[in-house]
Structure 1
């Protein structure tokens, strides 16, 4: 006959063992005065040289100029229109020494494809800039405005380029389709490749960032058909280009750029990075970046950035219905 005490004793021993293992594996709480130390990665899910990469290097330089005991290094993990890099960032959950510099496609990619993440898997820190797009054509193109372009495309699809299937270029095409336009799309790896394709006659028109398109407008190789901004650019060259809305088209594209952290970081870590990024945005490097890249400065931090992403996601769901 078994001892009546044996089962309770065994259960007590197991409970003590599990409790001991839990204590051994438990992470110490993050102190309120937490600061990063050593190397901090800033992930970009696109190739070097593009708009996302440039913005990441500007933010990294601004943070490093704080001389706060850490060194931010940009890491590029391209592929799948951002999917490869953003999926890999899931593994950084809880890591306060990792940052993600991202943009609009973080909202749009999960709406169009089956990927293992959404923007909600990460921690919004600071939205530091907004961007838009304009549409350019070769100087001898048979249309002078975006209204002309949409009208011509109704008769015969116009060939355009797009850098990414769910990025800013795709949003321009979606806006024009909403206005009755028809387009055949040639995929490219970057805005630079799209503009090279236009220059070589491979496509008829190209959506592009204002900073990328401006040199071609100044050289006379391209003409601007419209911008997808709310108001005209405050620029001697681009200020002459009307918006799509001025041409009677219900079309506008806004691209956000921001910094996020992994999901599951501690509140002191979130607070630290928001404060540090806001300091970095006061640097000359950041101010020159906004001016030279013809961007709209933005400063939405923490919950305000999170609320913006929620609202933007609802807007994008309408686009990708």
Structure 2
């Protein structure tokens, strides 16, 4: 998780970026047979190596495999927990020749940092291609075995939990546990990998984690899973025996969406083109392998359905935050 000072500096940079953009540009008409050309940037507002970066590279690869006459190239523009990249993408308004890969933090970051100049409505929703969730893991010798036991234990003694950010899925998990009555001291880390390293080293006692990142530690016996925050159990043989929080009597789920956006105010022909080609790419083996390897939940909401989902999701996040 970024420090408050670093985040403030990034947000100041956002303001500079926006002030340098011309608001007097005239958008030329878009022909009805429009297609992308040349290099198509696929922007991701997170650093290389994380889940958002991986999803961007998979989407770019599926588009390139279709051989459509353009090259999709991932561009990372991280900073401010996503604020720098998303603010930069605002300057692409009306440009149909670029894409943005985003996830749940696009809803939550403007709720935590109200001075950012964008919301999810600043961009054009194209396709939600996957959903993700989280599980809660602890060291193998922890004195609790379920999420309700963890909540109960936190009432009697200090429980130190890790988190990879204030606006992402880890924060949502912690929020659900606190809503159930838990109290935790949160240690911030820069990534899920760092969180799990901290748990392995004994710096923290419990941590939210994606299923794919937690699985090797569960297989090795270093960690035990207390519950999943998914709506249903995972089908993976290693994780199938881990109950959901709902099964344990807690009304708690965490679902993180992953999706593709166009720039704001693109033409309808551009929006329709991208929805069609992204969905065609999602029928590839590359996409199916990605879902399986990252233990993601398949999803396919496009256009207005995706926009409606975002509205509902945003309303829920406002309650959480």
Pairwise CA RMSD of aligned residues?
Answer: 1.0
1:220-235 maps to which residues of 2 (within 5 A)?
220-235=221-236
Aligned to 1:132: 133
Aligned to 1:34: 34
Q: Deviations over 1:227-262 (max 9, x none)?
A: 001111111110000011111111110000000011
SS at match of 1:137: strand
Aligned to 2:58: 58
Q: Deviations over 1:265-312 (max 9, x none)?
A: 111111110001001101111000111111110000000000000010
Q: Deviations over 1:112-160 (max 9, x none)?
A: 1121100000000000000000011111111111111100111223111
Aligned to 1:101: 101
1:1-321 maps to which residues of 2 (within 5 A)?
26-114=26-114, 115-320=116-321
TM-score, with length taken from structure 2: 0.91
Q: Does the aligned pair in 1 maintain the 2:27–2:94 contact within 8 Å? A: no
Cα deviation, residue 26, structure 1: 4.8
Superposition misfits of 4+ residues, deviation over 2 angstroms: 25-28
Distance 1:81 1:27, change over 3 A: closer
TM-score, with length taken from structure 1: 0.91
Aligned counterparts of 2:27 and 2:108: Cα–Cα separation in 1: 35
Larger Rg: 1
Cα deviation, residue 28, structure 1: 3.3
Q: Does the aligned pair in 2 maintain the 1:163–1:191 contact within 8 Å? A: yes
SS at match of 1:33: coil
Aligned counterparts of 2:241 and 2:27: Cα–Cα separation in 1: 58
Unaligned ranges ≥5, structure 1 = 1-24
Q: Does the aligned pair in 2 maintain the 1:56–1:101 contact within 8 Å? A: yes
Q: Deviations over 1:33-85 (max 9, x none)?
A: 11000111111111111111111111010001010011111111111111111
Q: Deviations over 1:150-172 (max 9, x none)?
A: 00111223111111111000000
Distance 1:37 1:232, change over 3 A: same
Q: Deviations over 1:174-212 (max 9, x none)?
A: 001100000111111111111111111111111000001
Unaligned ranges ≥5, structure 2 = 1-24
Aligned counterparts of 1:26 and 1:200: Cα–Cα separation in 2: 56
SS at match of 2:240: helix
Q: Does the aligned pair in 2 maintain the 1:156–1:182 contact within 8 Å? A: no
Aligned counterparts of 2:121 and 2:289: Cα–Cα separation in 1: 31
SS at match of 1:30: coil
Cα deviation, residue 27, structure 1: 4.0
Count of residues in Structure 1 that have an aligned counterpart in Structure 2: 296
